[in-house]
């Protein structure tokens, strides 16, 4: 079992109808673990909702430091990942297994995890979120160099 970190306490979470049930579960688990969870919607499952309406405000909050990290959920996780990465300073990864949940943070300084609410079950999703939150960026020179190249792309 992955231990939960103590340094990061404000976690933003957002989901459309495809991720609503998983968002509710993860919100409960995070709060029980002592996190301050900031919800970005949706507040009820509505088939007509659109993931950008919830994921973009979350991504902006991550980019501006209003939350320490973000969890974005849609049906597959793909749309959430695509739109989150349109926001400068956000590094979001579509994660469905534990290696990438920590490696993405350690090497690529991920600050958002994207999950598929129709793809990943609650127990695995919780393990992925705990792994993501426990991981820390290595700060290795080669990783900083690569991230600087990504930051240059965002400026264009």
- Residues labelled catalytic: 74
| Cβ neighbour number for residue 57 with a 10 Å cutoff | 16
CA distance 100 to 79: 18
Nearest to 140 by CA among 115, 105, 92: 105
Residue corresponding to tokens 């995070």: 30
Nearest to 29 by CA among 20, 17, 38, 37: 37
CA distances from 130 to 20, 97, 134 (A): 19, 12, 6
Q: Do the beta carbons of residue 69 and residue 40 sit within 8 Å?
A: no
């Amino acid at each position: 079992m992955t231990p939960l970190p103590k340094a990061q306490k404000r976690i933003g979470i957002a989901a459309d109808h495809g991720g609503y049930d998983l968002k509710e579960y993860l919100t409960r688990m995070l709060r029980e673990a002592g996190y301050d969870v900031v919800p970005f919607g949706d507040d009820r499952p509505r088939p007509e909702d659109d993931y950008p309406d919830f994921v973009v405000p979350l991504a902006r909050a991550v980019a501006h430091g209003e939350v320490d990290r973000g969890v974005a959920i849609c049906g597959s996780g793909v749309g959430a990942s695509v739109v989150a990465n349109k926001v400068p300073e956000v590094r979001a990864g579509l994660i469905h297994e534990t290696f990438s949940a920590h490696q993405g943070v350690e090497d690529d300084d991920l600050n958002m995890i994207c999950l598929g609410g129709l793809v990943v079950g609650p127990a695995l999703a919780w393990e992925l979120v705990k792994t993501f939150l426990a991981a820390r960026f290595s700060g290795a020179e080669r990783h900083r160099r690569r991230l600087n190249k990504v930051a240059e792309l965002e400026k264009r």
